[in-house]
Amino acid sequence: GENVEQHPSTLSVQEGDSAVIKCTYSDSASNYFPWYKQELGKGPQLIIDIRSNVGEKKDQRIAVTLNKTAKHFSLHITETQPEDSAVYFCAATGGGGGADGLTFGKGTHLIIQP
Amino acid sequence: DSGVTQTPKHLITATGQRVTLRCSPRSGDLSVYWYQQSLDQGLQFLIHYYNGEERAKGNILERFSAQQFPDLHSELNLSSLELGDSALYFCASSVVPSGGSYEQYFGPGTRLTVT
């Protein structure tokens, strides 16, 4: 089955700086890679996703890149703000013709220092 | 607000008991996925239902079962509960018309505590 590794587990950055979270996946059949933000006491919130036929996708301050050959994908947050503080999860899926659920990384606790 | 609703928000029960968690997907979504989130295991996929039929199983224990009803709401049944079943249980819904991977939107979760 799919295995997703996520690094770092904790990331502390100054407000206004950029943050980068990296993930690797094992199953070459995976073709969909979403990122979720989870705040305390809430469910994961989809913030951006990328499919295997695209190398990069951007949405305002958030961008995701995918390297299919190396099986790496990364989340980039620029001009970080206090409300960006949360736990971020990467995920992968694509097996079973899309029926399989998401395989998640262990999460990154992002701390924005004022 | 994702549009996915889950009840109850909190559930406290004793070992050996059985509970039912309920999920209503977003309007128009035919797929419901169930996930378990715990400190040691992280977020794990349990089971996927599409339009009333089971589509895929993940790390779901034999003591756990699910179903999706004609109105598309889903229930996750957990029986013979053990202390280790204490966790957050999320459902997510997705359009998934006939295959392929689509965005999954998560509900607020049910926190289960087994004492």
Residue B103 to residue A34, Cβ atoms within 8 A = yes
Residue B42 to residue A96, Cβ atoms within 8 A = no
Query: pLDDT at position A70, please?
Result: 95
Please compute the mean of the pLDDT values over residues A78-102 and round it to a whole number.
90
Query: pLDDT at position B102, please?
Result: 80
Question: Could you read off the pLDDT of A1-12 as tens digits, one per residue?
Answer: 899 999 999 999
Residue B100 to residue A97, Cβ atoms within 8 A = yes
Q: Return the H-helix or E-strand segment holding B5.
A: strand B5-7
> Residue A62 to residues A21, A59, A75, A76: CA-CA distances in angstroms?
11, 5, 7, 6
Shortest alpha-carbon distance between residue B4 and chain A (Å): 10
Please compute the mean of the pLDDT values over residues A16-31 and round it to a whole number.
95
Shortest alpha-carbon distance between residue A88 and chain B (Å): 12
Please name the residue of chain A whose CA is at the shortest distance from the CA of residue B2.
A45
Query: pLDDT at position A97, please?
Result: 65
Residue B48 to residue A107, Cβ atoms within 8 A = no
Query: pLDDT at position A54, please?
Result: 83
| Residues ≥6 apart with Cβ < 8 Å to B40 | none
Which positions of chain B have pLDDT values less than 50? none
pLDDT at A108 over 80: yes
Query: pLDDT at position A1, please?
Result: 85
